[in-house]
Structure 1
């Protein structure tokens, strides 16, 4: 097994303030519990097909330890299951920015987060495959 396919390099993380503002202001969104997925078809500063940002609200989880735990679990689930999304974007030669916002008010197990991530990525692939109006 080639481990390069499963790495999550800095170039695939959404860090640009301008792109983040664009995603939250004019991106399309859907909910796939426990995530709210906001995505935007945009030109990315890096030479990658997608960049992703993970967010866990401070209002629901006061302690940084819990926010970090949920963010780590979400990143891991994304890292392991993003292959379908990556191949679709390569075929379409498209770049998107994605924000994954954790919306559950309880700490979920990794298995639950992983199931939600798989559903969210499938739904995102489905929405990207639809013809644009």
Structure 2
């Protein structure tokens, strides 16, 4: 792939109703800080696909949900190299569900996301 290591391409987004339902039905999960992390090993090509969710129950205004999703996506984009390289192995679907009732700063979100990615790296290997 000729993409920059800091890119966030369309192939990295988890899309499709069946894939997302499979992640939430059959995937494993853990809680870390203000995040619930859902993950599922698949038998597709070797890459990560992520989903970012900010529940409407916690943030009624779409602008607040979108702000948090942008911050989470940016933190992931800058720190995704913490995940192990997936060249020859199966794909991993990852769902980040934001659970806090407050809008955290980018620095707080990034610090928590780094811990999540490090833990996912240990689960994967």
TM-score interval for Structure 1 and Structure 2 normalised by the shorter chain: over 0.9
Aligned pairs, how many?
Answer: 124
- After TM superposition, the runs of 4+ consecutive aligned structure 1 residues lying more than 6 A away are none
SS state of the match for residue 14, structure 2?
A: coil
Q: 1:106 aligns with which of 82, 102, 107?
A: 102
Give the superposition deviation at 1:43: 2.9
2:60 aligns with: 62
2:36 aligns with: 36
Tell me if the contact between 1:50 and 1:86 (Cα under 8 Å) persists in the aligned partners.
Answer: no
Give the superposition deviation at 1:86: 4.5
SS state of the match for residue 105, structure 1?
A: coil
Q: What are structure 2's unaligned runs of at least 5 residues?
A: none
Q: Which has the higher helix share?
A: 1
Cα deviations across residues 3-58 of structure 1 (Å, max 9, x unaligned)? 711110111100121111100001000011121100000134xx551100000000
The root-mean-square deviation of aligned C-alpha atoms, in Å, is 1.6
How high is the TM-score relative to the length of structure 1?
0.87
Q: What are structure 1's unaligned runs of at least 5 residues?
A: none
